[in-house]
Structure formats: C-alpha cells, structure tokens
Structure 1
Amino acid sequence: MAPHTYTISRLAYVKLLLHAAKYPTCTVNGVLLTSSPPGVTDVVVSDAVPLLHHWTSLSPMMEIGLDLVGGYAEDAGLRIIGYYEASERADETSLGPVGDRVVSKIKVSNADAVALVLDAQALSMGEAGLLPYTASPSLKAIPNSFTSPPPTAPSADSKHSPTFHLAETDLPARTLRAIEERTVQEELGDFDDHLEDVRIDWLKNPKVTATAEKL
C-alpha cells in the first residue's frame, strides 16, 4: 500500500499557530479534522479545533472537549484525523503522554491518525515548524517529512514513509506577519475560553476563518 500524503490546509495551519501564539506561556492542544474519506492515501487536514490551554492533562475537560468535537465533526461531514500540540517550551518537540493517549484513541476509528507538534525553532527559520507523528504501525516521529512544494513523484525515502506539506508554501511567513502586525491570535477561542465565556464559538471560530481566507 502506498504511504499517505497529508496536506495541511491554510485554515488548519493558521488555527494551530494562532492557538500557540495566543498562549505562549502555556502548552496548548487541539484536534485535526479532515474531509477526506477513510482509506484514501491523499489526506487533507482541512480544519483544526483548539481545545485547551489550562486543562491539558487527561482530565474530564479533555474528554468532554473531544466528545463535543466528535459530534461537531460528524454533523459537518468531517472526521477526526489527529491531534496537535504546542509546548510552552520553544525547544520541546516531543509528543507528551496526553497526545500519545489521544492519538491512540483516534486511531481506533481512524487508522491514518497523526499528531503535529509545533517546532518553534524551525518555524523561526522559515520552515513549516511542525513535527509529525504517525500512529501506524506505532506512534513515532517522522522528521524531515515536510516537503515544499508537494512531491510530484515519491522519493526513495517517501516510498515507505508518509509525507506532509502545507497547502501553500508561504503560509508560515504570512501567518507570522499577521500575528506580529495585527495580533490576529486574539480572535481565536478554545474550549477553555468557552468555559469562561459561552459566547465564544470555539468549534467554528468564524472570525479566524474569515482572517485565514484573507491571508
């Protein structure tokens, strides 16, 4: 079977970076969604839902948040494809025990589950700044797996390992510029924010969607 290729959409990438930028002194996490059907090898990560920046352990809030995202995804014709995490430490790119457990849970119904961990140092150098972890056959990091532009033919390495790429190669620079110049990260709300103010639509984040479309 051919290895999977994962495309990270503009919306999913922007939401992930804004979540990390809004809470730079906290570990943040969220869920990745796809519109791609099960069984395909070309998977589009079409959206991301920001979960937590306070209760990032395996807490009841995490379980409730995951259940709510699952219901939202089903209603929207999407499925949960993975998990993302950004550490409060800029030099930390390992996937913590919580991420391991969440991805393992997602894998039960989605064999192509993945995790993306923010690599702040790589991001600062103009790279995608994401370290992927795949859950098949076992959860492990896939370094140097982001390609730019997307490969038109598999390389020797990619014949057996999944590859990842951003939908648009200049997304890191454009997103960071919007964060620095317009502080657009303040438009984003996660499940923790929703628990403090129920008016915050953490599942859809319509303001962020509109911002991403204009980047």
Structure 2
Amino acid sequence: MTSYTIYHQAYVKLALHAAKYPHSRVNGVLLGKSTMSDAVDVIDAVPLLHHWTSLSPSMEIGLDLARNHAQTLGLSVVGYYQASERVDDTTLVPVGERVAEAVRKSFPQTVAFVVDGVKLAAGEPALIPYLPSGTSWRPAPLSAFSPSSNFKLQSTATPTRTLDLIRNSNLHYKLGDFDDHLEDVSIDWLKNVECKDDVPAV
C-alpha cells in the first residue's frame, strides 16, 4: 500500500482555505511527487474554489492551471481536498469523487482528503484520507496519522502550529483561491507566498 507524507506547507494552505470560508464548501488540489514506487510526498496545496456545487467551467479551468503550475515546479497534481460548511461533515461528496478520479487518470496514486473541522479547531491532525475502491472512494481503512498508518505529517507540530496561524495570526485572510482571483486578478492563488510558514520542529 502506498504511503503518503503531508508536508507542512500543504497542510497549512488547505487548512487556511477551510478557515477563511467556514460557511462555504471549499476545495483544491495537492501538488507533490512519487519518491519511490510506493511513497508519495504531498508538498503543496493550491486552493481552487469556495463557490461550487458541480463540475463547473471554473473548476475545470482552475484544475488545468494548477496542473500547469505543478509542471513548472517539477511536480504533479497528486491529490484533491475539500472542506464542508459543516464542521462535522467528513464525507467526500460525489463532485469531489469525480475530481479525484480525474486527477487519478494522470497520477494513479491519487489521494483525496476531507478536512475534519472539529479536529482542525482542536489542533489535531484534521485530514480524513479517501482512496479509490472499485468505482467509488472510501475512507482509508486505518486511523490516519496513527503510528501504524500509511499517512504521516512532515512535522507532528503542524496541526497546533496551523491553529495558531489561524487564531492568533489571522493568516487565513491572506490566502486567495481561484474564485478570489477571478474577482481580483492581482491575487496569486497558485503560490500564495504570504501564507508560507517555516516547518515547526517536531
């Protein structure tokens, strides 16, 4: 089974996206690379939309632009993430499954994550991984980020650090997604350089 390492920057950006629009469903893609045949590093996140209910033209355009951005960095789109407007909703919605499936066509080890809002607010690892199972996507069989899990964080201090960035630094207000860019083209949603953060010590 493939193992996945979630880098600090990827976790921070997707969490900031969820925190910026707590009353909307948000989504984005994850950039990374295979480090060997059974390991994937999830290095960065690109926030796509906070106005979405279907596979809209904005979704398709944003996904294509994210793919091109990944290629310029020598990376691939390796995953998908979403957060619900309800903090206790950790279901990968059908639209999310379709986007993840589209990503999987070019990256077979694709993973999808749903943000657990309750755990995010508690400073705990807040990602629920989904993997393909036949024609659908199912939650990973083992508890994610436990010692026996195939999912781990680059730094175990990332969840508490991210919560501090949201509550005390209000960094989520500086993040922009593709929807924001469509309203203000000066917003660099692909890089979000103002949201970069040093990797905390373990």
Give the alignment's TM-score, normalised by structure 2.
0.92
Displacement of 1:120: 1.3
Distance 1:143 1:124 in 2: 24
What's the CA shift for 1:118?
0.4
| C-alpha distance in 1 between matches for 2:156 and 2:144 | 11
Aligned 1:1-215 pairs, distance under 5 A: 3-36=1-34, 40-135=37-132, 137=134, 138-142=136-140, 144-148=142-146, 151=147, 163-209=150-196, 212-213=197-198
Shift of 1:199: 0.5
Find the structure with the greater CA-based Rg: 1
1:123 to 1:34, Cα distance in 2 relative to 1, 3 A: same
The number of equivalent residue pairs is: 199
Q: Where in structure 2 are there 5+ consecutive unaligned residues?
A: none
**Long gaps (5+) in structure 1:** none
Relative to structure 1, the CA distance from residue 174 to residue 109 in structure 2 (aligned partners, 3 Å threshold; closer, same or farther) is same
Q: How big is the alpha-carbon RMSD for the aligned residues of Structure 1 and Structure 2?
A: 1.7
Tell me if structure 1 keeps the 8 A contact 2:10–2:30.
yes
* Cα contact 2:123–2:162 (8 A) shared by 1: no
CA–CA distance in structure 2, aligned partners of residues 128 and 80 of structure 1: 22
Identity of matched residues, % = 54
Shift, 1:57, TM fit = 2.1
Higher mean displacement: 133-142 or 180-189: 133-142
List per-residue Cα deviations over 1:110-154 (Å, max 9, x = no partner): 110110000112333442011000125552111543235xx5xxx
**Kept after mapping to 1: 8 A contact 2:28/2:46:** yes
Amino acid paired to 1:108: K
